[in-house]
């Protein structure tokens, strides 16, 4: 069977794949510091071209997007779009790295370096799977497209515009993203959505300065008290958000979502230990529903007045609260922001609402045939049952595919759970990297068995 | 009349008084840093002895207390006890001083230096008034005692013990303290009490670390939310404290208190500007009742999670709130602390209550004859009507006299309103200093006209 030849080729080419991966990691591409990003785009294009992929660079108002394409001979072939990002997080604090972040180093079966896992070691498997297919078989059973952006770590700010301006170029049957970690147990994960996010800050000034709590205590307002009282109007005793209309557009979980949840592992004692909390009082269904299918309103930070050691007798003149809301389908961050503003204006019109940013939630129906095919391919590639999540608790710009283009989108992390992404000593296990190449090849293969739309 | 001779003597000795004041300010006495305090006690004793006062030093577990006494010839004489402190606040930040804090410097009719006003320039007038009396008249019409402590800026921690161990030595008819500023208008102030204070900190840990607001959002507790919700149970919408039993022991204001308040000046627009707030919505009576005769619950500081620029998507594992309560007669800080602990335990038993310290409130009946005599003496000394306050909004260890010894106690600030106490460029106007000597002499004189108990 042709897919066996592909896997054999992948095994034979490990040295080349590892060297290319190291070259890509060695090239800094820190979007937040505009450091080396364009050089990295060029290097990535070189690697893709060497793999037999036709590439094209799209300029944006920020960093370039590397687009790639390989068409199948089969007229009825499906089209799969691989999304990834070649930019990386800043490597600081440098003194915590055991080897320099941009001098990739293999130790104990892992490649260490900034971007090793997030996301260079997870986008290259798609490239090398295509290379292996082309070399071992001569052609692809499906059309493949690549969108690799250089600003994901800076909020993907120019991605939506690129997508809207290139709708036809990006036409596809499924979007496939590898990012984040596999399960702690080493089991593969497949997810079909993410929660959105709305980040805001509430700021209140009640006086031009802090005042003495004795000499003025009782006759002037206290910014800390007013902030506490405003926040307290936003949640009830059970933790349910009381901003008017907050839940209006929340979709109830489907029967299929609940079936998927029922199959997930759940060890509340072990999780409580990982999270550092006393206990998790939820049933498995409650846990996963709350984590992935229900919205949150989180205070990320709160500050007012004196916060040093001991006491200081002041009435704070200023208070600030940072909040994020994780939103679920079909909540609209812009609508929720308007509802928050209305709530704040009603309860304390002196509080300013600063909008830090937002992403829409994204959901793909996990029971679509293409989605089922991916699950099958991942099961075959890893030889074990994947954990299929209706959605992740976190947020990714997945909505650009599902909302802007109306495409189904699936996520399959390739990195080990202890990848240390965004942290010093980021790393990816070599076996996870090679396994990822096999997985991408298997997905291409299985989708090639399916009939096109 | 003998008091005229006293005032004449004071005017003639200005150079000597100023030099002695400068010598005392030049001697550092920073109790918080244990710097020069004992040397300052020695110098103060020297100045007092030179004034004709019999002194005695009392050792405590901390800094020494300088005690002084001059007895009158008159068997029926009243006894007046002057309280003050010779220790000072740390002078930092040094770079903000126009002249070094311990090199007293006269500029524009003010003496600049740490302790110039707080409290060296306000305790010396009592000493020099006695000196003037003894030199100009030969004897005092009343008995005078002095208690000058060296730890007021560190919380007067050993003063109560000293007082309780020396009850007979300290027997008196009235305690007189000069500390703090006169009114902005330059009018003298007489006050007959202070609010007490209870300082606490609430600390909550819900997790061993901050957690990701996406990957864990909805399934683990949030320390910031829980702190907000706990605090919100402590106050109602009108700002009234809802800790059970908080107001149980609050004395309603007497008719005389309200008469005093009716005579005080009140310019809410001007005050709002000083406090840096939009407006003061209170009537005069509300303003002074709230400021001096009613308790407060103030959030001094609040901190949880991420407080830097921009946003950070975390669920804080820890939150802390610093609170102070200004207490009024007859609230007992220890009782209020117990009520707070009970309230916290009922609403969130995971919150720790840390006790930072407390002082009892203090009240003296302003309509006592000795109190009226002081008001008359201050009116005569300054040639204008003093502002007579039932109590100050702030807190001083006045309770040691009223509560531990059962003595009436009166406060008369001698320093200019812009004394900058506790701040760089602390200063006291020379005319305020000399006027203070006249005022103390006048108080001694007028009390000498009264019959002893």
- Residue B206 and residue B102 in one domain: no
User: Do residue B311 and residue A199 have CB atoms under 8 angstroms apart?
Assistant: yes
The pLDDT tens digits for A358-373 are 999 999 999 999 999 9
- Residue B149 and residue B209 in one domain: no
> What pLDDT is recorded for position A184?
87
User: Do residue B222 and residue A326 have CB atoms under 8 angstroms apart?
Assistant: no
- Residue A124 and residue A215 in one domain: no
> What pLDDT is recorded for position B125?
98
Query: In the Cβ-directed half-sphere of B8, how many Cα atoms lie within 13 Å?
Result: 8
Q: What is the mean pLDDT of residues A260-271?
A: 94
Number of domains in chain B: 2
Residue with tokens 């001059």: B70
State which H helix or E strand residue A340 sits in.
helix A333-347
> What pLDDT is recorded for position B451?
63
State the nearest Cα–Cα gap between B88 and chain A, in angstroms. Answer: 17
User: Do residue B298 and residue A315 have CB atoms under 8 angstroms apart?
Assistant: yes
User: Do residue B319 and residue A302 have CB atoms under 8 angstroms apart?
Assistant: yes
Domain boundary among B329, B344, B359: B359
- Residue A49 and residue A159 in one domain: yes
- Residue A27 and residue A104 in one domain: yes
* Rounded CA Rg of chain A: 24
pLDDT for B452 beyond 60:
no
State the nearest Cα–Cα gap between A353 and chain B, in angstroms. Answer: 13
Residue B201 preceded by cis peptide, ω within 30: no
pLDDT for A277 beyond 60:
yes
Domain boundary among B315, B338, B359: B359
- Write out the residue range of the structural domain in which residue A212 sits: 197-250+294-357
Domain boundary among B332, B359, B386: B359
User: Do residue B195 and residue A209 have CB atoms under 8 angstroms apart?
Assistant: no
The pLDDT tens digits for B288-312 are 999 999 999 999 999 999 999 988 8
Beta bridge pairs of residue B144: B70, B80
CA distances from residue A249 to A253, A294, A333, A358, A399 in whole angstroms, order as listed = 12, 11, 11, 17, 16
Residue with tokens 């709230």: B290
| 3-state SS, residue A144 | strand
Neighbours of A118 (CB within 10 A): 27
Q: Looking at beta carbons, which residues of chain A come within 8 Å of B294?
A: 218
Interface test with A, best of B89, B180, B216, B219 (most A CBs within 10 A): B219
> What pLDDT is recorded for position B453?
40
Cα separation of A192 and A392, whole Å? 8
- Residue B385 and residue B402 in one domain: yes
The pLDDT tens digits for A180-228 are 999 988 999 999 999 999 999 999 999 998 999 998 999 999 999 999 9
Q: Could you tell me where the DSSP H helices lie in B27-171?
A: 37-50, 120-136, 159-165
User: Taking all residues of chain A, what is their mean pLDDT, rounded to a whole number?
Assistant: 95
Is position A121 within any domain?
yes
Q: What is the mean pLDDT of residues A84-108?
A: 95
CA distances from residue B300 to A360, B89, B297, B349 in whole angstroms, order as listed = 38, 21, 9, 22
User: Do residue A299 and residue B201 have CB atoms under 8 angstroms apart?
Assistant: no
Is position A138 within any domain?
yes
A1-29: string of b/e by CB count within 10 Å (b at 16+)?
Answer: eebeebbebbeebeeebbebbbebbbbbb
- Residue B217 and residue B352 in one domain: yes
The length of chain A in residues reads: 453
User: Do residue A316 and residue B299 have CB atoms under 8 angstroms apart?
Assistant: yes
Look at A306-310, A405-409, B102-106 and tell me which has the smallest mean pLDDT. A306-310
Please give the residue of chain A at the shortest CA–CA distance from B211: A275
Q: How confident is the model at residue A451 (pLDDT cuts 50, 70, 90)?
A: low
Q: Looking at beta carbons, which residues of chain B come within 8 Å of A218?
A: 290-291, 294, 296, 326, 393
Cα separation of A216 and A222, whole Å? 10
Q: What is the mean pLDDT of residues A434-446?
A: 98
Tokens of B157: 């921690």
CB pairs under 8 A between A and B: 234
Q: Looking at beta carbons, which residues of chain A come within 8 Å of B180?
A: none
User: Do residue A217 and residue B276 have CB atoms under 8 angstroms apart?
Assistant: no
Tokens of B402: 């009223």
DSSP annotation string for B333-373 = HHHHHHHHHHHHHHH-TT-EEEEEEEE--EE--TTSHHHHH
- Residue B397 and residue B444 in one domain: yes
Is position A325 within any domain?
yes
The closest of A109, A111, A108, A113 to A94, measured between CA atoms, is A113
State the nearest Cα–Cα gap between A93 and chain B, in angstroms. Answer: 17
User: Measured in whole angstroms, how far is the alpha carbon of residue B49 from the centre of its chain?
Assistant: 27
Look at A186-190, B96-100, B181-185 and tell me which has the smallest mean pLDDT. B181-185
The pLDDT tens digits for B129-176 are 999 999 999 999 999 999 999 999 888 989 999 999 999 999 999 999
- pTM (two decimals): 0.89
Q: How confident is the model at residue B221 (pLDDT cuts 50, 70, 90)?
A: very high
Tokens of B290: 């709230």
Tokens of B423: 């701040």
User: Taking all residues of chain B, what is their mean pLDDT, rounded to a whole number?
Assistant: 95
pLDDT for A144 beyond 90:
yes
Cα separation of A443 and A435, whole Å? 12
Q: What is the CATH number of the domain that holds B344?
A: 3.30.70.360
A224 vs B217, B229, B299: nearest CB: B299
B312 vs A217, A231, A301: nearest CB: A301
**CB B423 within 8 Å of CB B111:** no
> What pLDDT is recorded for position A450?
80
CA distances from residue A250 to A189, A245, A332, A392 in whole angstroms, order as listed = 25, 10, 10, 16
State which H helix or E strand residue A410 sits in.
strand A409-411
State the nearest Cα–Cα gap between B293 and chain A, in angstroms. Answer: 10
Q: What is the mean pLDDT of residues A88-112?
A: 95
- Residue A155 and residue A207 in one domain: no
- Residue B402 and residue B314 in one domain: no
The dihedral through the CA atoms of B390, B391, B397, B403 has a sign that is positive
**CB B44 within 8 Å of CB B86:** yes
A218 vs B290, B302, B357: nearest CB: B290
- Residue A94 and residue A160 in one domain: yes
**CB A411 within 8 Å of CB A190:** yes
Is position A270 within any domain?
no
A311 vs B280, B282, B322: nearest CB: B322
State the nearest Cα–Cα gap between B361 and chain A, in angstroms. Answer: 12
The pLDDT tens digits for B323-343 are 999 999 999 999 999 999 999
- β pairing state of B143-149 and B65-70: antiparallel
Model ipTM value: 0.89
pLDDT for A122 beyond 50:
yes
> What pLDDT is recorded for position A2?
84
pLDDT for A236 beyond 60:
yes
Q: How confident is the model at residue A1 (pLDDT cuts 50, 70, 90)?
A: low
Q: What is the CATH number of the domain that holds A380?
A: 3.40.630.10
The one-character DSSP state at B152 is: G
User: Do residue A213 and residue B298 have CB atoms under 8 angstroms apart?
Assistant: yes
- Residue B74 and residue B140 in one domain: yes
Q: What is the mean pLDDT of residues B21-43?
A: 97
Cα separation of A304 and B277, whole Å? 17
pLDDT for B377 beyond 90:
yes
Q: What is the mean pLDDT of residues A286-294?
A: 96
Q: How confident is the model at residue B450 (pLDDT cuts 50, 70, 90)?
A: confident
Is position B68 within any domain?
yes
State which H helix or E strand residue A197 sits in.
strand A196-205
Cα separation of A44 and A66, whole Å? 8
Cα separation of B189 and A312, whole Å? 26
A393 vs B214, B305, B322: nearest CB: B214
Is position B263 within any domain?
no
**CB A106 within 8 Å of CB A170:** no
User: Do residue A301 and residue B306 have CB atoms under 8 angstroms apart?
Assistant: yes
Please give the residue of chain A at the shortest CA–CA distance from B224: A299
**CB A395 within 8 Å of CB A197:** yes
Is position A231 within any domain?
yes
User: Do residue A307 and residue B303 have CB atoms under 8 angstroms apart?
Assistant: yes
Q: What is the mean pLDDT of residues B174-201?
A: 95
Is position B279 within any domain?
no
**CB B297 within 8 Å of CB B313:** no
Q: How confident is the model at residue B2 (pLDDT cuts 50, 70, 90)?
A: confident
């Amino acid at each position: 069977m042709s897919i066996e030849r592909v896997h054999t080729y992948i095994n034979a080419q490990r040295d080349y794949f590892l060297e290319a991966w190291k070259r890509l990691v060695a090239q800094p591409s820190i979007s937040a510091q505009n450091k080396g990003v364009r050089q990295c785009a060029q290097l990535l294009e070189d690697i893709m071209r060497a793999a037999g992929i036709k590439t094209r660079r799209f300029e944006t108002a920020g960093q370039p997007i590397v687009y790639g394409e390989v068409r199948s001979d089969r007229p009825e072939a499906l089209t799969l779009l691989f999304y990834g990002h070649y930019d990386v997080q800043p490597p600081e604090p440098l003194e915590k790295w055991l080897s320099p972040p941009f001098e990739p180093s293999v130790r104990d079966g892992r490649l260490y370096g900034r971007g090793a896992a997030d996301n260079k070691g997870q986008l290259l498997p798609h490239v090398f799977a295509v290379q292996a297919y082309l070399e071992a078989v001569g052609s692809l059973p499906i059309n493949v497209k690549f969108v690799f952006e250089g600003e994901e770590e800076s909020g993907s700010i120019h991605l939506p515009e690129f997508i809207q301006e290139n709708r036809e170029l990006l036409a596809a049957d499924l979007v496939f993203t590898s990012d984040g970690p596999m399960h702690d147990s080493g089991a593969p994960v497949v997810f079909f959505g993410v929660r959105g996010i709305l980040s805001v800050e509430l700021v209140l000034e009640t006086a031009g300065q802090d005042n003495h709590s004795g000499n003025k205590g009782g006759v002037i307002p206290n910014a800390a008290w007013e902030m506490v009282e405003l926040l307290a109007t936003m949640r009830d005793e059970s933790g349910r958000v009381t901003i008017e209309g907050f839940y209006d557009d929340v979709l109830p979980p489907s029967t299929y979502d609940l079936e998927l949840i029922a199959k997930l592992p759940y060890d509340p004692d072990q999780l409580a230990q990982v999270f550092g909390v006393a206990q998790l009082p939820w049933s498995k269904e409650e846990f996963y529903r709350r984590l992935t299918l229900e919205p949150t309103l989180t205070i990320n930070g709160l500050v007012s007045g004196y916060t040093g050691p001991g006491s200081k007798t002041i009435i704070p003149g200023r208070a600030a609260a940072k909040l994020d809301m994780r939103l679920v389908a079909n909540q609209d961050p812009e609508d929720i922001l308007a509802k928050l503003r209305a709530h704040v204006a009603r309860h304390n019109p002196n509080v300013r609402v600063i909008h830090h940013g937002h992403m829409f939630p994204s959901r793909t129906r996990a029971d679509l045939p293409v989605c089922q095919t991916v699950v099958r391919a991942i099961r075959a590639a890893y030889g074990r049952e994947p954990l299929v999540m209706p959605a992740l608790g976190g947020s990714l710009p997945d909505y650009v595919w599902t909302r802007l283009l109306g495409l189904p989108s699936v996520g399959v992390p390739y990195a080990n759970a202890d990848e240390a992404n965004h942290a010093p000593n980021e790393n990816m296990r070599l076996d996870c990297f090679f396994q990822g190449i096999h997985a991408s090849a298997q997905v291409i293969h299985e989708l090639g068995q399916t009939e096109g739309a």
